[in-house]
Amino acid sequence: MRLTIPVLLLAAAAILALPEIGAAQQKPTAAGSAAVPALTGSALAGQKLAFSRKKGNCLACHTMRGSDVPSNVGPELVNLKALFPHRKDLVAIVTNEQARNPQTVMPPFGKNLILSAKEIQEVVDFLYTL
């Protein structure tokens, strides 16, 4: 009987949708008021996805330009062009960071269909503006 519980759980949980972790709110920090370049097109769409609680919710774990509250479950996202000159590396991290680090707590956005392939490209366009 007991053995079936985790299995059921996995199956049922898989159907369910998206992140709304970190409900508590705090006052905006300095990060929120830093000069923000006017984003357009795909990068703007990517920012919306990254900030949305229902989609990327990247702010739950990462501090980045435009963050309203600091998070440090993951590293601050900054200077990503220098860190990841190859676009495919960033795409891979967002798609399934578990491939690089099996222990990571970062959700596999592509693998688990939280973000579509197109949405991941948009998020990466946004990341390259950081």
Return the SS3 of 18.
Answer: coil
Nearest-approach distance from CB 113 to other proteins, in angstroms: 7
Q: Which two tokens stand for residue 118?
A: 């197109």
Site string for ligand HEC, 82-121 (x = CB under 6 A): -x------x--xx--x---x--xxxx-x------------
Site string for other proteins, 5-24 (x = CB under 8 A): xx--xx-xxx-xxxxxxxxx
125 makes contact with ligand HEC (CB under 6 A) = no
Pick from 33, 36, 37, 63: nearest CA to 50: 63
61 makes contact with other proteins (CB under 8 A) = yes
Q: Which residue, 43 or 123, has its beta carbon nearer to ligand HEC?
A: 123
Helix (H) or strand (E) holding 12: helix 4-15
Q: Using CA atoms, how far apart are residues 59 and 1, in angstroms rounded to an integer? A: 39
